[in-house]
Every structure is written in structure tokens, then in C-alpha cells.
Structure 1
Amino acid sequence: MTDQLAQQPNTPWKQLLDNGLDAVQSTYLDRYRQTREGLHYCADVVWGNLQTPAYARAMLTLVADVHGGSHDTIEEAVATRTARGALIGKDGRTSHLLLGEQALRTNIGGTDVMRSQLDYLADVMDRDGITLGVVPARAPMPCPPPTTFTVFDRMLVDIETASTLIQITDPPEIAVHVRTFELLKTVAVYGQAARNLILTERDRHPG
């Protein structure tokens, strides 16, 4: 897999954002068009492809604020980010997502945004191509707790730090992330148990 984002192993977000938030999101959309299988572990926020427009808007606004980026293209970036979700299940694409329980609790955008986002997660679980699990906060960790990462077709790994996008193409390193994902699956909950955790957190945001 090759794309604009994967040209350098470590790229500061400030550099990536020089052309605007919408340019970065467009490049990611192209990558997801190429991807057949995605493995995604998100420790403390909801994965981008399953974000509602309001949640995505709040997240991208925070990104622009931290890195001094322009807010001028946020609406275009929101539309492009949320378009990624429509690719799941098309032409055989699959996405296996593990969320840390903290991802259901981290307050992005306030009560109304969180209620809507958590409702959406509960509704989208049964869509073709999506496998959604939640790693309970008190589950015994089967591996050193990892940071958020994505594995694209087992050929590329993205790790997003506060300042830098790290990209891994070395097969042994990719294998470590795949193994980590497989271990996290052993303590995750799925189906109704995952939906119960999601809706419990939703109910903690008064309507």
C-alpha cells in the first residue's frame, strides 16, 4: 500500500496540516478506498470512521486548536471524514474495531454530542462489514496496554501521537501489532454485552 501519508515514517501533524484539515481527510479517504481489511484499536476516543458529524467536528476543531491550523475547511473535513464510514462493507471491505471502555467516556463536544455518538455506535454495530468490540476497563490486560493504532491490510500500521503520525511498514513490527490486536480480542466483549456498555455510558449523559 502506498499513499501520500505513507511517504515518511514519522510526520509532524503540523506539517500534514499545512494544506488544511480537508486535505488530510481526503488522503485518508483515498487510503480507506484502497483498504480491504482494517484492524483498529482506539483506547480513548471513537474511531474516525464511526464518528458522527458533530463528534468529528468537535474532534477536528480540537486538532486545529492544538496545532494552530485554520478552521476554514473544518466543514469540508467533517464531510470527508464521515464519508469513510460509508465504505465499510462495500465490495467486501471489513473493519474490526476494538474500543477501550474509556473511548465511551471521553467527553468530546459535550452531552448532546456524546449521546448522539453513543446512540450511533449502538445502532451501527450490526452493519455488514463491521465487527465492534469493547475492552472493559476492568478486563485483565493480556498485553502491555497499547496506544491507539490501525492496521491496514496487514501492510501498514498508523500510530497517532499528540505531535506526530508514526507509520510502520516493517513486517515484524506489523506482526507485533496484529498479535496485540488478537490478544485484546480475547478480553473484549461483543454483541449485546458491548451494546450494554455503550448504552450505559449514553444514559450517563442526561438528555
Structure 2
Amino acid sequence: MTLSPEQLGQSKQELAATLKELRKRAGLSGARLAARCNMSQSKISRIENGKSPASLVDVEQILRTLEAPPEVLARVTELARLANTDWQSLRALRRKGLHHKQQELAGLESSSTEFRFFLLSMITGLLSTPEYIKASLAHLDGDQSKLIARKLSRQEVLYDTSKKFTFLLSEMAVRWPLIPAPAMAMQLDRLVSVSRLPNVRFGVIPLRGLMPVAPMDTFTVYDASLVTIETTSGVLALRDSKDVAMHLEAFAAMERFALFGGEMRSLLEQWSDDFRGSAQ
């Protein structure tokens, strides 16, 4: 099945209708199916009416109970995977206004308690200085002051000690010269400062030695329920538990190559001094 924005938009209702039709063909009421799946009848009803998203685990359990043949199991499982995936194109986000995306992210940060950021090529807005944020938006037309202000205001969540953050940054993300050298030095100083917060675990992956794991994407895991993946053309959101688990595993694999604590801060301070030296 080809992944496309159109399918992502249609898949939730299609999945709900398909599961309802399969139940009826099996001659089961919603109550009987719920009992056999060890689910509540209200949950089955919400799934079949498209009011509550069915996870891949839920779908597999329902299909096993309905004794669906292998070809149906494969087709509906793929549909469930699509139904748990959202795509936001950058073009659409720009038309709507990127400051609305900041509201969405603030909502995610408000409702989540544990965050894992893997940053492959750039520093995320939560860690950025105003100058870095401004430079990251320089390719956009028009006045971006509202967007910059929203990004900076979101940084307040870092000081909420009820939340736990782990940041993993590649050396490329840290050292990519997006702004002039003196400003990059200040940006790295900002990273050192944030790394000292009690609820922040901060790791940097230096490009040295043997690293047989090659990450492909910048991604964020919210609790253990949602992954967002940033691409050149947009943002992909995955809610399927297997997709989330795969990214948690990838995150843990990259943690093994990261430096933390004093060793990490010494490296950041060295790179900061390098930027200051290159500006002289």
C-alpha cells in the first residue's frame, strides 16, 4: 500500500467501517465481540464509529477474534498503520501560519511528561538562542516576529520539573554554522546552561570512532505514545505502538555513543572556544 497524504486522511474512517463490516459478517454483536476481545463495548463502539483511534494492537486482537484470513489480516493491519499516521506538509503549514504549529507543539508539551529529542542536523527551538531561531526562519517570507516569540515562549517548559527531557545531538547539529561564529559560541553556551537543569539529560554524539548505527531522521518521542519525524517537506506523526517502540530502540542505540555530564560540557566549551577563535 502506498503512503500518501490522501490515504492518511481517509484511512481512519475506512478502518472503522472495515472493522464494523467484518464483525457483522462474523455474526457477532458489538457486545459479544467486546467480551471475546476483553474490551469494553463502548470502546468497540467508538472504534467502529471512528470516534476513537484503534491501535495496531487493538486491530490485531479484533481480527484474531474474528478469525480473519491472512490476506484480510494483512490488508486491515496496513490500514491500521496508516490510520495511526498523520502527515503535515510544510507548504500547508506555511499557508495556515507556522505560529499555529507552535501552539500545537505547546499543547503536546503541556500534555506529555517525558520527551526524547534526537537532533541530527540542527538545534531544536527549545534549546535555541533568539539569533539561531531567527536564522532558522530566514528562508520564509514576511515578518516572522510572532513565530519567533512563540518559539521562545515554549522554552519555559524546560523549567517545569514535573517533566523530564533527554536531548541527543549529533556533532553536526551542534556545530553546523547557521549563524556567525560569535553567535554560534553563544548558542553552545546556551546548550551548556540547559544541560545543567535538574530535569534535563543532555548528550552529544561526537563524530569519532566506530559508529555502526546510522540515524536517518530527526525525531521526538512524546512519552511512549507518539513520535514526530521532521523531513524537508513536512512532519510525520506516528502513534502506532510498534512504530513508537522502534524509535525508542533507535534512541537507546544512539545514546550509547553520546557523551554526558562533565565530558559533554567540556567538549561543548571547546567547540565554543573554537568558534570564538575563528572570529578573531
Match 2:185 to one of 115, 119, 126: 115
Higher helix share: 2
Segments of structure 1 that go 5 or more residues without pairing to the other structure are 65-69
Write the distance in 2 (CA, Å) between the matches of 1:169 and 1:8: 6
Q: Determine the structure 2 residue equivalent to 1:86.
A: 156
Q: Determine the structure 1 residue equivalent to 2:242.
A: 172
4+ long deviations beyond 3 Å = none
Q: Determine the structure 1 residue equivalent to 2:204.
A: 134
CA RMSD of aligned residues (A): 2.0
Q: Determine the structure 1 residue equivalent to 2:135.
A: 58
Q: Quick check: 2:117–2:168 contact (8 Å CA) kept in 1?
A: yes
Matches within 5 A, 1:13-28: 13-28=90-105
Match 1:204 to one of 253, 274, 278: 274
Write the distance in 1 (CA, Å) between the matches of 2:209 and 2:190: 24
Q: Determine the structure 1 residue equivalent to 2:77.
A: none
Q: Secondary structure at the match of 2:138?
A: helix
Q: Quick check: 1:45–1:102 contact (8 Å CA) kept in 2?
A: yes
Is 1:32 aligned to 2:109, yes or no?
yes
TM-score between the two structures when normalised by the length of structure 1: 0.87
Going from structure 1 to structure 2, the CA distance change for 1:128 and 1:71 (only over 3 Å counts) comes to farther
Q: Deviations over 1:121-168 (max 9, x none)?
A: 112211121110011111432533231110011111111111121111
Alignment length (residue pairs) = 196
TM-score between the two structures when normalised by the length of structure 2: 0.65
Matches within 5 A, 1:156-167: 156-167=226-237
Q: Secondary structure at the match of 1:9?
A: strand
Q: Determine the structure 1 residue equivalent to 2:50.
A: none
Write the distance in 2 (CA, Å) between the matches of 1:81 and 1:102: 22
Q: Which amino acid aligns with 1:29?
A: A
Q: Which amino acid aligns with 2:105?
A: Y
Q: Secondary structure at the match of 1:133?
A: strand
Report the alpha carbon displacement of residue 116 of structure 1 after superposing the two structures with TM.
Answer: 1.2
Write the distance in 1 (CA, Å) between the matches of 2:183 and 2:239: 36
Indicate the structure (1 or 2) with the bigger Cα radius of gyration.
2
